[in-house]
Each structure stands twice: as C-alpha cells, then as structure tokens.
Chains A and B, each alone.
Chain A
Amino acid sequence: MDEELLGEFLTESNENLAQIEQKLMDLEASPEDAELLDAIFRTIHTVKGSCGFLNLKHLEKVAHAGENLLDKIRQLKYPVNEGIVSLLLECADAITQLLEGLETEGKEPELDHSDLIARLHACERMVSGETQQETETASETADHVVIAWLDDFEEPIKEALQAKNLITAADVIAAGFASLRDIEPLTSADALKILGVARSAVDLPGQNELSSEQEHVVQDVKPSKAPKRETAAEVVNDEVPTVSDDEVKTAEVTPEKVQPEKQEAKEAVPAKVKKSAANASIRVDIGLLDELMNQVGELVLTRNRLVQMVRALGSMELMRVGRDVDQITEQLQEQLLRTRMQPIQTIWSSVPRIVRDIGKQLDKTIKVVMNGEDMELDRTILNALKDPLTHIIRNSCDHGIESQETRKKQGKPQQGTLTLSAEQESGFISITIHDDGGGIDAEVIKNKAVKMGVLTEEQAASISKKAALQLIFHAGLSTAEKVTNFSGRGVGMDVVRTEIERVGGSVDIDSTVGQGTTLRIQIPLTLAIMSAMVVACEGQRFAIPQMSVQELLSTPEDSDDWRLIAGQPFYRLRGKLLPVMRLKDVLDLSDNDRLSGSIVVVDLGDRTFGILVDQIYGAEEIMVKPLGVHFQHLNFYGGCSILGDGTVIPIFDCNGLASMIQISSDMAAVQHLEEENHMGYVDKQQHSLLFSQAGMRYAIPMTLVERLEYIKPERIEKTATGEILQYRGEVITVLRWSDLLGEPTRQRDEKGEDDEVYCLILSDGDANSSKRMCLQVDDVEDILELDVGMEIKKTSENPLFLGTTVIQGIATEVMNVFGVLERANPHWFMNNKKDQARKVLFVKDA
C-alpha cells in the first residue's frame, strides 16, 4: 500500500470525521435539513470511495453500510430519529476506530463490526420498508418493462438492481456510477456497463464504447498515484478528454455527455468544496514549523545584536535599515507563531457528542453552551488539553449534573447546562468549564481524604474550603459513590492536573454545593513564547512565568509585616500570612538571612506563596528553550531563554518551586487563622501555639496572642522595674517564660548575640484598650487548630497553667494566659473585661 497515499487518506478522513459527529447531532436537532444530510452522506461516501483505491476491505464495508442507510434516508426524505442518529454515530465511531488502527499499525485492525453492519442494514430496510408501500404498485407494473433493457446482464445483477429500486434506465443514470458500483454483487466494470446500457436505452447510441473506455481508464487509474481523494467517477471525468486519437469522435461528445452525470453524482459536490479549500490552505509538517520557529528565534537574537551594533555606529542610514530588519523580524515571528495556532473549537467540537452519549446513558438532558470557541491556541497545547478536557467534561456530566428527578425536586431546570468558555488574558488563555449541577461538598472530600490517609484529621480540620476542593486533583481521590462507565475510577483528576501542568498550565476548582462546579484552566497561548517576570537574586537573573504571578510587593526588612514561624518567613498581606521562600536560600546562593527586597506573589490556584528576590526588572516576552539532560531532575526549572543582551536566563516552574517549600497544613492553619481573625469570625475550634522551653513542650491558646514577633534580643531593654520592649510606640512589659518557670536563663553564649528571639505579643483582645505584654519564649514549634482548653487531662495547681494535655503524643503543659497576664500586671483585669474574659475561659475549661 502506498504509504504517502495512505497518510493523506488518514489525515483527510480524520478531518472529515471530526465534523461528522457535530453534523449528526445537528441533524438530530433538525431532521428536515437536507443539506446537512447531504454533507454527512458525502463524508461517509468519500471515506468509502477512497477505501476502494487503498483496498481497505473492512473499512469499506462499514462505510458502505452507513452510506447505504444515509442514502436511503436521503432519497426517501425519511425523518431521522434518535435511534438512527445513535446508530450512525456508532458507524462513525467504528470508522474512526478503524482509521486509528490503520494509523498505528499501518494496516486494517482486525475488528468485528458485523453486528453494526447488520444493524445498519436492518435500519436501512426499516427505512425503505416503511416508505416502500407507496411506491410498490408503481414498481410492480414497471417490473417487466424495465428488465428488458437489461437483457444482456445476468440474473443476480438484475435482482440486485431491482432490490435497489433501480428499475428504469433513467433510474440507473440518476443513481450514478458510484451507487451502482456499490450494489452487491456488481463490480465497477458491471456498473459502468449498466450505466452505458442505460444511456443507450434512454436515447444515446454509442455509449457502450464509451463505458468500456471509462472502465479501462478507471482500471488504469487505480494503481497510479492519482490523488486518492477523488472518487472513481471524478477520475473518469478528468481522464475522458485524453482518450486516444482513434476514438476522437466519442471523445468529443464525451464531455457534454458525462457532464450531466457529474452534476448528479454525489461526489462532484464535495470535490468542488475540497478543491477550493485546498487552494486556501495546505498541510505542513509540524516538525518543519518547529524548525522554522527555531530559526526565527535565532534571527530575532541576531537582530538584537545587529540593532545594538548599528546603534553604536550612529549612522542614520544604517539605523533605518536596522529598524526595518527589526520590524520585519518581529512580524515574521508573530506570523510564524500564528501558523501553529488553531481555534479551541478543534478540541471542543467533540464535547457535544460526549455530553450527548453520557446524557443518553444516564438519562440526563444536558445542554452545552460554548463561548469563545474561536480563541486560538498553539497546536501542541491543544493536543495536550484534549484528554484532560474530555475527562473534566465526563466528570461534570456524570457526577456534577444531577438526574432529571433530582433537578426537578430542587426546582432547577430539568435540563442541565454545561458551559465552556475561553478568554484571553495577557499571554495566556483561561478556559472555564462550569456545570450547574450539585456541586462538590468540601467536607465530603475532606472525609474521604482522611479515610484514604491523604490528610490527618487535624489537617483536614484546618484547611480552607478552597484548599480542600483542590484535593480532588490528588491521586487516588474520587468522591463518586459508585463507579460508572464514564468516570469515578479515582484516576483521572490527578492525571488531568499533571497533563495540564506539563504544558505550563494550571488548573483549579471551585464549587458551591447545590449550584455547580467551575473548573478553571489557565494555559499559555503558545509554548514557544511566554511572558515572564525577570527578577534578580544575588546578581543572577531568573524568569518567573507571568501566568502564575499575582502581584509584586516591595518589602523593607524592618517591615512590621514579617513573621517568622518555625524558621519559615511569612509576610502579612491584607490580613493573611503569606508563606515566603527566600530564593537565595532555596537555591543555595547565599547564607544571608535578611528579609529584604521584593516579593513576587505566586498564585497556583490551591496555594499562594511569595518568592523573595533582590530585585524585579519587569515583564518580558521570552522564547522558551528546553534545558538539557542535566536539569531534568530539577523540577523547579521550566526551561531557559536568551535575553536581548544574549545571556541565558533560567525560567522557573512555579509548581516545582512550590514543592520546595513545605507549605504544610500547619502553615495553612496560620493562614486560616489569620483569615478568621481578620473577618472577626470565631470558630468553635481554637488555634494553639506550641513552643518548647528547656526540652518541655507548652501550648498557648492563640486567642490572646496578638502577634508572633521575631526580634533581636537587644530590643528588650532593662529598666528599674523589669524588662520592657518598645512596641508600636508603646512600652510593654516583657516576661521571659524561663523566668516565670524559675529556670535559669538560657546561656547567652549558646546562641550568638545577634540571634533573634521569639516574642509572643499577648493582648486582651481589645484593640482600643491597648493592653499588651510580651512573652519571650525559646522555640516556637507549631500552630495547630486545636482547642487545648477542652482536652486537659490533668488540671494544674500552678496559676500559670491550666493543666496537662497530650498533643501529637507528647505531654504538653497548657498555659493559663490570664495567669501570665496577671504576672505582668496584677491590675490587668481590674475592669469589666476581666469577668468577660474569665467566663470565656471557664466555659472552655469545663
């Protein structure tokens, strides 16, 4: 088999079949649309026609059966119903399946479609049977008359023709060559002969010779390299004028004679359409485009050098030429990028079919709404998106949208709606998939996660709703109670995420119980060029993909908004604590611990963190180049690029970077806590801060801890009445936990003088009364969402303690904050607030 021919056949058939699903479904919606039906017929017909040349027997059979059915429907104007459309879709699937097999194995896969073919035949009979009665009488009378002109042919052929309702010569001519040839057991030669006889029977003598000539031509053409998309009849048309000289007479008449046939022949129409389409576009090997892309990339860089040199020379004339080169290069690059772009429609077009099938199976009616389907994306990215998208859609239809009864009960429209939208944001495209189904309950996910051992109960209790929802992307989590045909096997959503991240995208989920779920995919427009934030750290430049960058912050070191918890810096941003990674620290660029510079806030959907850098240069469009084999294990690098001045710059992969800081659940708890404090929300659960002193562990309820500070020891000043700290323009009392415990003060030389110490700023919670104190402790270990007051195992006589509890398997003394406050100032509670505060505490203590 000619490989090139086969390749082109595959490409074309795949393209045609991509549209057929949509068309079939449109047909289901408007069964009267004859044009649509014709288009569908032509597609199947073209596939079948090409099979003949390529000798694809099995495919031909399947396509043939489908074509016959379609032809019947067309001829008899039979209104299609759901069942027929399903059958035809199945037929299209079978063809696709065979084509796929052909593509991968180079030969027809051995699949059994006899059942499908039988059903197609049965359906065809059903279609013709129902309308048969009307024509029956006419055929009967015609029966004997007709056959007369077919006397030269054998009985089976006559029967076959009759079975096809091709009775008179006019009928046969109207049916055209292709349909004749398709009738079993007629061969192409028979078909041509019949056609010829039919013509002569009607009124044209001499057609016999022509038809045998045609037959001859067709046979010649078969093994040649004729464009295989053309069907036999078309080839005949093209070839006939070249018939040998001794046949001049016939040849002269041929064009007009054949012309009417051409107009009637079904293949004439698609051939025309295709030709004009072929003139407007050509197929290009993607590898060639990639190569071109690289070349243009180099041209851009060479241009940069040229522009710099020209500028240095200062010649006006050269400047002008330089500017031209500059502009042309830019346009070239831009247009080349566009050659790789395809509308998102290319992958969305399969969605209605998927939705329809699932809907039929699960007895749900689902409407698909699409916005922005003409948005264009790089082909590579589109390809990578296809599978994840399909999976998301299946999930939405299967688990998202409820059954019709449920929807009715809830007062929702019975028909569910799935909305796909794509919109462009600077340099990337944001795709949202929204369903108006039942939504996802974050609690269910949490429970599941705990059950599967993904989260501990404490973690589950502390994470926010949004973070809990993102767990759906965790391998091995699937909330569906029962496994269905379509989804719910617990693999998939993690694959979805991996696939999307592989092409530099991100995905997050949001859901409201009872109202629906929204998945948002962000993806770069093109893989080759991206917008990136160029930053510097220790004199070295790095690029951070703009897509993940949420905002930029300038942070002086003495900013009040820095927190250090267990060595991890946090930055207070609009009431939340943002975990910050020191780039120089994680990349081992320097031991310098100073918290100064700028923070690039990176938002990855489920988590947000800051990257502390020395300097931010600004955003730049950069061309992404892959890194070599030595960097494959470093997942925080996403590639590299060459800047305008010729230097190589590494590009970060923010997901990889995020994995370098352990944004563990306790940190999420801090965030959570801060959120709650900010909103004035009081949870039943309470946060407790764990710290250790001289090997013992202590817990302090966070309610009265206003801030956690990490300060230089010399800021604690000695006065006649004790130690004090100047804090926000106030002077507040400092107590050292070690002193309160009566332990010797920790040896100073153990830690350098410069080492900062943890200070808990305690306040009675009333911002106006401004009563604060500072408690200096040794090592802050953790913050847990845990109401220590509720879990006292053994009460204490010491006024400094409430008692002992066990946290994470370790005996922990729970501090009585009020006892400590009273130590700092015996008159602390000499006002009304005292009772109130105590009451709170007693309630908890009970």
Chain B
Amino acid sequence: MGQVLTAINNKSNHTTELLTCRVGEQWIGFRVQQVREVVKQQPRTHMPKAPNAVAGLINLRGRVITELEVRQVIGLPKREQGEPFHVAIVETVSGEDFGLIVDDVGEVVTMNEDAFEPTPQSLDTVWRQISDGVLKQKDRVLVLVNVDRFIGLTISNLNNESYHEMTFH
C-alpha cells in the first residue's frame, strides 16, 4: 500500500488499475491494490449512536467490518429502501478493513498516472479532501478517491455528532 502511494506521488509513467464505482451520478475510482473484494448486500447490524457515515457492521466470513455509506459522506440524499447497492471491501494503512457502500460497480480501468489532473480547487471541500486527482473521460469525470483520507474524514466528522448528549432527558 505504501508503495502505491509513493508511486502516485512520483507521477511516474506507472500505470494504475482502478475499480470504478458509481455513487449517485458520480463515478469514483479506488486503486485496486486497496480493494480486497466487492460483495453484495449482507445482513447488517445497525450501531446506535455511531457516526453518521457508519451504516452498520457486517460479518464477512467471520470478520466484523464497518460499513460506510459513501453517499452520506459526499452529501447525497439517503438511499431509498430496497435500492440495490454493492460494497467494496477496502483496506487501509491502519490495517482495518472497511466496507464502502456504493450504488454500482463498473469495470476495472488501467490508467497512466500522468493522465490524472490535480483536483480542481473549485470542487466541494469534501471532494477536495478525499480526491487524489480527477480523470476526464469521454462522457464522465472520474475522481480518484484516496481511501485513507476518505476513512479519516468519516472519523473526523465525529465532532458534529450528537454522541456526547448522553444524559437522560
């Protein structure tokens, strides 16, 4: 993983494979090295008082994984009941795996690192925080999402939660 990051920073001629996912109308890409697998809906356990981005916990072959709703993080409306979704299981530098809930999973694309443009400053703060660059394709703009920063964002958002109101009312 560490190597992947350096490779990106070096802006070399290395190619990168990206798993493309759709969230709402937006296409995003995760580096395949960080994606363990893509799973369908699993029975999920809701965790009361958890941060907003946390959808719940799932049991992935005996491992407990925190599922995060990507829509929530990037400020899209909540998913309708019964609306299908996929879960990309990603790994982070910390060693903990997370499930990222996306609307759809597309193909894996091989890209030259140089083809990416730096994140435009005009983008929304959240996007600027999680993006490692954007790639303009024919009919879409693909945002390369930095998984570690994405996870970090869901944790730092804790301050806005109401979890500290823990007294009886």
**Which residue numbers of A lie inside 8 Å of B, CB to CB?**
294, 297-298, 301-302, 540, 567-568, 581, 585-589, 625, 627-631, 633-634, 636-637, 640, 642, 646-650, 659-662
Contact = CB atoms under 8 A, between A and B. Distances in A.
6 contacts: A298-B61, A567-B168, A627-B57, A629-B151, A630-B68, A640-B57
Given A628-B64, A650-B45, 15 more contacts: A302-B62, A625-B64, A627-B57, A628-B66, A629-B96, A629-B151, A630-B53, A630-B68, A630-B155, A631-B66, A636-B166, A642-B59, A646-B59, A661-B167, A661-B168
B1 interface: no
A589 B48 contact: yes
Contacts of A629: 66, 94, 96, 151, 155
Contact of B58 (A298, A589, A648): A648
Q: At the interface, is chain A mostly helix, strand, loop or mixed?
A: mixed
B29 interface: no
B115 interface: no
Given A628-B98, A647-B59, A540 B155 contact: no
Contact of B59 (A589, A634, A637, A648): A648
Interface in B30-67: 43, 45-51, 53-54, 56-59, 61-66
Contacts of A636: 49, 166
- Band of interface residues on B: 20 to 34
Contacts of B94: 629
A620 to B, nearest CB: 16
A822 to B, nearest CB: 37
Contact of B168 (A297, A586, A588, A649): A586
B154 interface: yes
Nearest to A569: B168
A585 B47 contact: no
B168 A662 contact: yes
Contact of B154 (A630, A648, A662): A630
Nearest to B56: A648
Most chain A CB within 10 A, of B43, B45, B65, B151, is at: B45
Contacts of A647: 43, 45, 59
B169 interface: yes
B42 to A, nearest CB: 9
A125 B168 CA distance: 74
Contacts of A646: 43, 59
B59 to A, nearest CB: 5
A647 to B, nearest CB: 6
A649 B167 contact: no
Contacts of A588: 48-49
Contact of A631 (B47, B151, B167, B168): B47
A586 B166 contact: yes
A581 B168 contact: yes
Contacts of B155: 629-630
B60 to A, nearest CB: 10
A648 B49 contact: no
A633 B68 CA distance: 17
A569 to B, nearest CB: 9
Nearest to A538: B48
A200 B54 CA distance: 84
Contacts of A627: 57, 64, 66
Contacts of B68: 630
Contacts of B53: 630
Given A629-B94, A640-B57, A648-B45, A660 B166 contact: yes
B126 interface: no
Given A648-B57, A659-B166, A634 B50 contact: yes
Interface string B61-100: 1111110100000000000000000000000001010100
Nearest to B54: A630
A821 to B, nearest CB: 33
Contacts of B63: 298
Contacts of B45: 540, 640, 647-650
A661 B169 CA distance: 10
Most chain B CB within 10 A, of A568, A628, A646, A650, is at: A628
Contact of B47 (A568, A650, A659, A660): A650
A836 B166 CA distance: 47
A588 B50 CA distance: 11
B109 interface: no
A636 B98 CA distance: 22
Contacts of A294: 62
Given A629-B96, A630-B154, A659-B166, A587 B48 contact: yes
Contacts of A587: 48-49
Contacts of B65: 628
B158 interface: yes
A432 to B, nearest CB: 33
A703 to B, nearest CB: 28
Nearest to A540: B46
A766 to B, nearest CB: 35
A581 B167 CA distance: 10
A651 to B, nearest CB: 11
A631 B47 CA distance: 9
A660 B164 CA distance: 9
A665 to B, nearest CB: 15
A588 B161 CA distance: 13
Contacts of A589: 48
Given A568-B168, A640-B57, A298 B62 contact: yes
A648 B45 CA distance: 6
Most chain A CB within 10 A, of B57, B65, B154, is at: B57
> What 9 pairs between A and B have smallest CB-CB spacing?
A298-B62, A587-B48, A648-B45, A628-B66, A648-B57, A660-B166, A301-B62, A625-B64, A630-B54
A250 B57 CA distance: 74
A298 B168 CA distance: 39
Most chain B CB within 10 A, of A650, A659, A661, A662, is at: A650
A183 to B, nearest CB: 55
A773 to B, nearest CB: 30
A274 B48 CA distance: 55
Contacts of B66: 627-631
Interface string B127-169: 0000000000000000000000001001100100001001111
A636 B63 CA distance: 21
A418 B151 CA distance: 52
A630 B52 CA distance: 10
A297 B59 CA distance: 13
Contacts of B48: 540, 587-589
A619 B137 CA distance: 57
A570 to B, nearest CB: 12
Nearest to B57: A648
Contacts of A297: 62
A585 B168 CA distance: 8
B62 to A, nearest CB: 3
Contacts of B168: 567-568, 581, 585-586, 661-662
A647 B53 CA distance: 20
A769 B50 CA distance: 55
Most chain A CB within 10 A, of B59, B61, B68, is at: B59
A755 to B, nearest CB: 15
B62 A642 contact: yes
Contacts of B169: 567, 585
A411 B101 CA distance: 73
A800 B46 CA distance: 55
Most chain A CB within 10 A, of B46, B64, B151, B154, is at: B64
A646 B51 CA distance: 24
A649 B56 CA distance: 11
A629 B62 CA distance: 18
A648 B51 CA distance: 18
Nearest to A294: B62
A585 B63 CA distance: 30
